[in-house]
C-alpha cells in the first residue's frame, strides 16, 4: 500500500505550507505528495491527474480538508466514488476524521459511513447554494421594484450621431465617411447601427 497526499491552493501567491506540514505529521512520503495551484472549480488539474494515474487499489489518498479536493460537491461526489469504488483506494480527510474510508478496519460499514457523511455534506452545500441564489434573486426583484437599474446603461445617441447613421442607412453617406465623422471603428459602427435599427431610430 502506498500513501499519497494531495494539496491545493487557488492561486500562485497562496502557501501550501499548512497542508504539507499536515502530510508530514501523518507520515506521507515527500515523494508521494502532489500539489496544484489552481482553482477547485473542476478536476482538470495537472498534478491531480498525475496523482490519480498512479493511485492503485489499496492505496491511501490523504487530503487536509475536503475543499482542497474541490469546490463543487457534485463533482467531489463523483470523484470520491471513482477513487473509492472504481480505483479501490481509500481516502482520509485529516480535518474531518469521519471522512476516512479506512474507518472500522476498512469494512463496508466504514466506507458506508464516510459515503453517507459526504452525501449529507453535499446536500447541505447544495441547499446553501440554493438559498444564496434565492436571496440574490429576491434582492434583485426588490431593488427593481424600488427603481434600481441593473446592467450596462443604454447608450444615449446625439442627434448628429443618428443623422450620420441615417445618412449611411439611406445610402447618402459612405461607411468610411460615417465612421470618420463619428470617430469609431468598423465593429463599433455596425454594433451601433444594429442598435439604432432595433430601436426604430433608423
User: Annotated catalytic sites, by residue?
Assistant: 10
Torsion on CA atoms 114, 119, 121, 124, rounded to nearest 10 = -160
Q: How far apart are CA 194 and CA 199, in angstroms?
A: 9
Compute φ and ψ for 44, nearest 5 degrees.
-85, 70
Q: How far apart are CA 61 and CA 65, in angstroms?
A: 12
Cα separations in angstroms, 187 against 80, 170, 184, 194: 48, 20, 8, 11
Amino acid at each position: 500500500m502506498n500513501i499519497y497526499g494531495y494539496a491545493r491552493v487557488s492561486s500562485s501567491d497562496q502557501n501550501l505550507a499548512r497542508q504539507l506540514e499536515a502530510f508530514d505529521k501523518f507520515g506521507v512520503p515527500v515523494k508521494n505528495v502532489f500539489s496544484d495551484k489552481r482553482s477547485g472549480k473542476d478536476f482538470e488539474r495537472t498534478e491531480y491527474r498525475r496523482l490519480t494515474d498512479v493511485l492503485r487499489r489499496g492505496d491511501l489518498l490523504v487530503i487536509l480538508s475536503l475543499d482542497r479536493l474541490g469546490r463543487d460537491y457534485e463533482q467531489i461526489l463523483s470523484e470520491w466514488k471513482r477513487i473509492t469504488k472504481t480505483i479501490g483506494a481509500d481516502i482520509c480527510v485529516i480535518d474531518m476524521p469521519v471522512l476516512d474510508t479506512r474507518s472500522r478496519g476498512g469494512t463496508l460499514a466504514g466506507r458506508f459511513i464516510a459515503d453517507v457523511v459526504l452525501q449529507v455534506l453535499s446536500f447541505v452545500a447544495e441547499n446553501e447554494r440554493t438559498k444564496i441564489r434565492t436571496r440574490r434573486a429576491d434582492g434583485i426583484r426588490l431593488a427593481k421594484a424600488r427603481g434600481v437599474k441593473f446592467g450596462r446603461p443604454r447608450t444615449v445617441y446625439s442627434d448628429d450621431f443618428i443623422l450620420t447613421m441615417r445618412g449611411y442607412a439611406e445610402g447618402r453617406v459612405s461607411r468610411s465617411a460615417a465612421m470618420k465623422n463619428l470617430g469609431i471603428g468598423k465593429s463599433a459602427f455596425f454594433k451601433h447601427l444594429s442598435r439604432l435599427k432595433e430601436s426604430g431610430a433608423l
